[in-house]
DNA sequence: GACAAGATGCATATGTTAGACATCTGATAT
DNA sequence: ATATCAGATGTCTAACATATGCATCTTGTC
């Protein structure tokens, strides 16, 4: 019931990029800004690009931006893409004497759906800024 | 977003005991029945007893039984007791440039509550047996 | 008092996740 | 055209959490 560091920062990367709307942001900037490993962050960004949440551009003055508007990216979808969330327990892994009687698996599946659905009531846009409409750049100058 | 093996089997132990309603069940019986480590199961049982889901009895003909009726034990509460579920991410661990702007933490807390609440719509009694009212002993003789 | 069962604490193994490094590919500016 | 900057890829290592094992103690019942 903890998100992986990977997923946690996956969300934060997207929020950071959303808050710096428009501008191309580099891995280096984010890793310095959050104080986390450049190398590990690289893998997070790569996965986010593969999952089509980020668009990346190589080369000089490259960097990343959101692949879609922040108001169209839902955090539950991001979690599903970064975290293995499909089955919370595996009833087939070991012989289970309760098989056929037990509805634990169904209940857990429903609960997982409730989790994701609740996250998907939001978008990146309203998680960062929201009503106040504040931009990151106005609050905390990068570096 | 995976339950620990520990929590997963914590729930299954309770369901097993619930399905064997009334009878005292030993760690040894459960570990053989599920095919998992006796030693690890011991710790699970211990934690469940501490958390007042199980009542244990030492000595000859000892074993465990539910501390309360199966219809009064809710699986979401069990998960909360066995799994660290309080904060899914920790905003204070690293310096986060989004602090003050970002509502990710709140959204995750709401989602976690939705997860637990959904689990707590059930009780041990309806997860095992439920409408059919079938008892484990009728379906799969122990060993 | 002997035995069966859980309690406790420490030591070890395993697996997952995070971090580091070296090298390659692609895009842009000059 | 080429130098340079930024991401892509793959392998290796380190750190940490979790599961497992073992030895010993405690408690309750026969």
Amino acid A143: pLDDT: 31
Amino acid B130: pLDDT: 57
Amino acid A44: pLDDT: 96
Contact A127 B116 (CB under 8 A): no
Residue B142 is assigned to a structural domain of this protein: no
CATH number at residue B126: 1.10.10.10
Find the CB nearest B89 among A8, A94, A128.
A8
Q: Which residue in chain B has the smallest CA separation from A92?
A: B34
Written in H, E and C, the secondary structure of chain A is CCCCHHHHHHHHHHHHHHHCCCCCECHHHHHHHHCCCHHHHHHHHHHHHHCCCEEEECCCCCEEEECCCHHHCCHHHHHHHHCCCCCCCCCCCCCCCCCCCECHHHHHHHHHHHHHHHHCCCCHHHHECHHHCCCHHHHCCCC
Range of the domain at B10: 5-132
Cα(A44)–Cα(A10) distance, integer angstroms: 6
Residue B51 is assigned to a structural domain of this protein: yes
Residue A90 is assigned to a structural domain of this protein: no
Number of domains composing chain B = 1
Residue A91 is assigned to a structural domain of this protein: no
- Render pLDDT for A102-121 as a digit per residue (tens, 0 to 9): 999 999 999 999 999 999 99
Residue A51 is assigned to a structural domain of this protein: yes
Find the CB nearest B84 among A1, A119, A128.
A1
Residue A114 is assigned to a structural domain of this protein: no
Taking CB atoms and an 8 Å cutoff, what residues of chain A touch B104? 11-12, 15, 75, 127
Å between B143 CA and C6 C1'?
22
Contact B128 A102 (CB under 8 A): yes
Residue B34 is assigned to a structural domain of this protein: yes
- Cβ of A87 near strand C (under 7 Å)? The reply is no
- Render pLDDT for A59-80 as a digit per residue (tens, 0 to 9): 888 999 999 999 999 999 999 9
- Render pLDDT for A24-52 as a digit per residue (tens, 0 to 9): 999 999 999 998 999 999 999 999 999 99
- Render pLDDT for B21-53 as a digit per residue (tens, 0 to 9): 778 999 999 999 998 899 999 999 999 999 999
Higher local confidence (pLDDT), A45 or B142? A45
Residue B68 is assigned to a structural domain of this protein: yes
């Amino acid at each position: 019931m903890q998100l992986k560091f990977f997923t946690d920062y996956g969300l934060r990367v997207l929020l950071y990029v959303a808050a710096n709307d428009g501008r191309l942001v580099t891995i280096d900037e984010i890793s310095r800004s959050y104080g986390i490993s450049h190398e590990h962050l690289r893998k997070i960004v790569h996965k986010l690009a593969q999952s089509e949440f980020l668009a990346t551009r190589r080369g000089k003055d490259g960097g990343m931006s959101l692949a879609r508007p922040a108001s169209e990216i839902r955090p539950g979808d991001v979690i599903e893409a970064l975290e293995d969330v499909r089955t919370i327990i595996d009833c087939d892994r070991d012989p289970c004497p309760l098989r056929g009687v037990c509805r634990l698996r169904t209940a857990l599946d429903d609960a997982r759906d409730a989790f994701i659905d609740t996250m998907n009531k939001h978008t990146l846009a309203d998680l960062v800024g929201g009503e106040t409409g504040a931009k990151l750049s106005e609050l905390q100058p990068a570096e």
